[in-house]
Structure 1
């Protein structure tokens, strides 16, 4: 179709719309084409010039057909860039701008060109107010149609956007619910795992033995309640000669490995004690037995032998915190004793310390997790004395837990904690209703 010349913007817009209808362009492409042609032509028409418009169909690869719309308009400083138009165009060196649009299927009647009638009106506009009013009404109707198409498109996009937001919210809700469910399941597994480990450790820790004239109790708390395995262990047994043997072990580290190391130490000590080895040699002999099998083993050990009849107390120590005695009269004494633990250089107790537990005296054996929770062992030992004095009159089974609770009001260095209490019972006085009973 040959170019047609236009002197007014309404006639140009009308012609472009006619092209869109005749070639069945989509509403979005048609609206963008009208706006783009109008913006390019406005500057030339405002300057008193004219513009030329032509539309030509040509085949494209793939059996498609393209509509080439070309606008010939003089460029002015106010002319916009073709790349910035609502429908970007392709500029040519001679100043024209072209658009290449894909065509849809059309009926035969739609193939008639739409520029011929408009061109005649454009080149020879009819005089009279009626003609101008009709053109204005046609322009308004066309603009309303374009606006309706644009609003329809906006509504469609808004509906799609809301749908996508709803789907996204539903997906996020499902993901959050799944995350919460997984967190709850993970917490349940951690608790179940911790419970199993606690039951295993309880099975490995012997209950207090029954000894006439002595009361015994123990308290153990892991550094991490969800991972209760640790290296703080104890053992107590009644030897063939009637004395009570107590072992307290603190193996280096945490977890299952330290538990295994502590168990190996307590089993070795028990075997040596039952075989009748002297108390002063057991720490060193335990090292000699275990070192070949576990070269990395390091553990502190405190051994106690108590005669229930006489109260005679004998202690051997391998790098372990000292035992504390709270006398029946309220005085206290740390039973210091030098020695080196298993896995240390020159392991063994330097000597054996002897003392006596009188009736009503309380002996406290423990691991460093009790006194070093605030990272100051000296301050911890001072607090332990006050706590043991305060609770010495309570039933023995309550004392270790009560002392541990006092010592752990502030924890700066969490560690496994073991507290063991032994009290020599007072004998009934003569004439007492229970005298003579076992």
Structure 2
């Protein structure tokens, strides 16, 4: 393939280099913006050589090996020294407006897109030299100043286009941000709505798990419950209370192993089984064992501690049966207190059942506290928790009954090292 080549004569000034590159580039129809980049880049590389008094030549030609770019012949602009090779390391080719490479002879080479036609540029004959300072006005329809103005205009047009594109992108980004913000607000509103709905569902579920309030003449009752997990309506701690046909009040406190919904289901199975057995007339001392036998076929993995209380509101007599549960606390009206210990093993435990039934009597003003271990083990020390529970119950024993369970829980949970479901149930014989 024929190689078309135009080159300059020896160039010794930066002005001459710029004019030579501009003329050769215009001859090959290089667009004004690309031409401006080429002029600045070639001059930047030639600066050091010219400063040392060495001349250079500029050659612009089509690729000799038939190289193509974008479907047409590629162009190459070559800056070469006159008489000797460029000194190694003297030229900085990085960061130029138009990237350059180095050929085997050490010359700087700029590869350009294919030449264009019909741009009105004058054409010099192949191989014609343009020496330093030669103007050749007769050969060019466009003067040097006009060519520079054309390049500047092209660069400014490019800057304007980039600025316009930047403004458009900025406007689109602002519009997108506005849409994202609106979407975020909508999602926040929907999330808040879902939280309210979820909270309402949890509260309704918690209320459904609670037995109906019990009003019994001669007996005051109140309860406080708090789950270990704030997003769960309840856990494995449940209670049940109801009146038996003989007028006595039956109370069940259950602590099923685990937390969350599964342990709630286990605790419900225990409370409902105990209720059924109590209504059938089973005495407190046999209920824990019988419940364990029944539930073993329903949920073999179930483990739960159980405390049963049977209270006669007329006489104040209390019967207590226990299956591995923390003992009830009684606080007498004058302030003395004691734990009512009953040995036994819970539902699902080996040899389940209460070993004995404890009998005691509540006088007017006496307070009985039934609870789960989440109340006394919040600091990982059950004995320390039991001592604090005695102090708290004695301090609050004369408050309105509906305030006592929560007041005790607040005292016990000032420091929580071991979060757990917590239930506190208070029972008091009112003073005449």
Same fold (TM over 0.5): yes
Deviation at 1:295, TM superposition (A): 0.9
Query: Aligned residue for 2:291?
Result: 286
Query: Aligned residue for 1:133?
Result: none
Deviation at 1:146, TM superposition (A): 5.2
Query: Aligned residue for 1:197?
Result: 202
**Is 2:108 the partner of 1:110?**
no
Correspondent of 1:67 among 72, 75, 89: 75
Correspondent of 2:385 among 380, 386, 391: 380
Q: Distance in 2 between matches of 1:287 and 1:256?
A: 21
Query: Aligned residue for 1:361?
Result: 366
Deviation at 1:298, TM superposition (A): 0.7
**Is 2:347 the partner of 1:342?**
yes
Deviation at 1:282, TM superposition (A): 0.8
**Is 2:426 the partner of 1:421?**
yes
Q: Distance in 1 between matches of 2:403 and 2:44?
A: 93
Correspondent of 2:39 among 30, 34, 42: 34
Deviation at 1:98, TM superposition (A): 4.4
Normalised by the length of structure 2, the TM-score is 0.83
CA deviation string 1:377-433 (max 9, x = no partner) = 222222222222222222222222222222223222222221112112334xxxxxx
**Is 2:13 the partner of 1:5?**
no
Structure 2: which 5+ runs fail to align? 137-142
Correspondent of 2:86 among 76, 92, 107: 76
SS of 1:25's equivalent in the other structure is coil
SS of 1:6's equivalent in the other structure is coil
Normalised by the length of structure 1, the TM-score is 0.82
Contact kept in structure 1, 2:7 and 2:127, CA below 8 Å: no
Query: Aligned residue for 1:260?
Result: 265
Q: Distance in 2 between matches of 1:421 and 1:186?
A: 38
Q: Distance in 2 between matches of 1:329 and 1:94?
A: 111
Deviation at 1:328, TM superposition (A): 1.7
RMSD of aligned residue pairs (Cα, Å): 3.4
Deviation at 1:299, TM superposition (A): 0.6
Q: Distance in 2 between matches of 1:226 and 1:265?
A: 23
Deviation at 1:108, TM superposition (A): 7.2
CA deviation string 1:136-179 (max 9, x = no partner) = xx878876765665565455445544654564465456445544
Compared CA separation, residues 387 and 88, structure 1 to 2 (3 A):
closer
Compared CA separation, residues 364 and 56, structure 1 to 2 (3 A):
closer
Correspondence list, 1:32-431, <5 A: 32-42=37-47, 45=50, 50-57=55-62, 61=68, 64-73=72-81, 74-77=84-87, 79-80=90-91, 86-89=97-100, 91-94=102-105, 96-103=107-114, 105-107=116-118, 109-113=120-124, 119=130, 150=155, 153-154=158-159, 156-157=161-162, 160-161=165-166, 163-164=168-169, 167-168=172-173, 171-172=176-177, 174-175=179-180, 178-179=183-184, 181-427=186-432
